[in-house]
């Protein structure tokens, strides 16, 4: 997936505008780099992705506008941040960003795309698997790929870059019409946090509490689960059985009994022998 590179001079102008500066020296101070770097970018005709990401996270500027001059959100309103607060936030975000390279950032990128292997990611972005493996081994932060992923999938830039998403970012997602829900991975009977994902509310069954929804995946299976629902009925449920979590098809039987069907087979038990964790409201199946 190859695209033409944005004009370096225009990108630098937008970076400067976002920071409210007018010279290359002032821009270098904001980006916390040597002043000569900006001149080198102009001569090379390319601005590193890390600089663009820092500016977007630091100033709140629209990522799509910084990269190509077009707002992703037509109703975007620029938010100005005081220089003192901006500097503190920028340093903190830059530190988090550069400390989460390699395995962690590649995992978030693949999750955002829905890929399970580095080969799939490499083929899609036309990057050799050897290059991706080098990023993995050297804990490298691939800024240009992070930007591409954010623009391509709509995933939160802050989450892709740092592994975190603040409350304000989640609220903004909801306001823009693409609300996010927590994303979990079910592994060895336990649920672990796995960032956030976006979901169109039209896919959610009527009556479900959107604020209680979690996207849960395990291997090639995935579900949207309304957590906290515990009035057991026929359907698919997230259950705790003997301390291990898994998703099961449940049907009630006379005598306070349940028929449980899982990936490893089926069995019967009493209702008090399981702990209900949530109701599956949407099942996502792999077409392959």
Q: What is the DSSP string of 107-152?
A: HHHHHHHT--SHHHHHHHHT--HHHHHHHHHHT---HHHHHHHHHH
Pairing of strands 213-218, 180-187: parallel
pLDDT of residue 179: 67
pLDDT of residue 287: 46
For residue 104, the model assigns a pLDDT of: 81
Nearest 5°: the CA angle 7, 172, 103 is 65
Q: Does the pTM exceed 0.75?
A: no
Could you say which residues of the chain have pLDDT below 70?
1-6, 71-102, 165-179, 285-288
Q: 3-class DSSP state for residue 65? A: helix
- In order of their start, the domains of the chain are 8-167 (1.10.260.40), 181-284 (2.10.109.10)
pLDDT for position 247: 92
Report the interhelical angle of 103-113 vs 118-125 (nearest 10°): 70
Rounded to the nearest 10 degrees, the angle between the axes of helix 24-31 and helix 35-44 is 110
pLDDT reported for residue 250: 93
According to the model, what pLDDT value does residue 196 have? 74
**pLDDT of the residue at 203:** 75
Check residue 46 and give its pLDDT.
87
């Amino acid at each position: 997936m190859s695209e033409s590179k944005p004009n370096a001079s225009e990108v630098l102008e937008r970076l400067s505008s976002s920071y409210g500066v007018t010279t290359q020296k002032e821009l270098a101070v904001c980006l916390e780099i040597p002043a000569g770097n900006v001149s080198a970018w102009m001569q090379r005709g390319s601005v590193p992705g890390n600089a663009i990401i820092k500016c977007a996270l630091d100033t709140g500027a629209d990522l799509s506008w910084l990269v190509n001059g077009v707002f992703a959100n037509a109703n975007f309103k620029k938010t100005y941040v005081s220089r003192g607060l901006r500097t503190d936030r920028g340093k903190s975000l830059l530190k988090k960003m550069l400390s989460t390279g390699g395995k962690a950032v590649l995992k978030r990128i693949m999750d955002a795309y829905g890929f399970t292997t580095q080969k799939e990611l490499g083929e899609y972005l036309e990057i050799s698997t050897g290059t991706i493996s080098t990023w993995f081994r050297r804990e490298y932060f691939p800024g240009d790929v992070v930007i591409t992923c954010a623009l391509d999938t709509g995933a939160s830039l802050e989450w892709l870059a740092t592994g975190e998403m603040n409350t304000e970012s989640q609220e903004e997602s909801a306001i823009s019409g693409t609300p996010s829900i927590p994303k979990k991975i079910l592994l060895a009977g336990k649920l672990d946090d796995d960032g956030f994902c976006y979901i169109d509310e039209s896919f959610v069954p009527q009556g479900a509490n959107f604020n209680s929804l979690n996207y849960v995946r395990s291997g090639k299976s995935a579900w949207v689960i309304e957590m906290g629902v515990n009035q057991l009925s026929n359907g698919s449920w997230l259950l705790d059985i003997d301390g291990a979590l898994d998703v099961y098809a449940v049907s009630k039987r006379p005598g306070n009994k349940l028929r449980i069907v899982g990936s490893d087979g089926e069995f019967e038990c009493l209702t008090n022998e399981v702990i209900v964790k949530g109701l599956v409201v949407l099942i996502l199946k792999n077409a392959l």
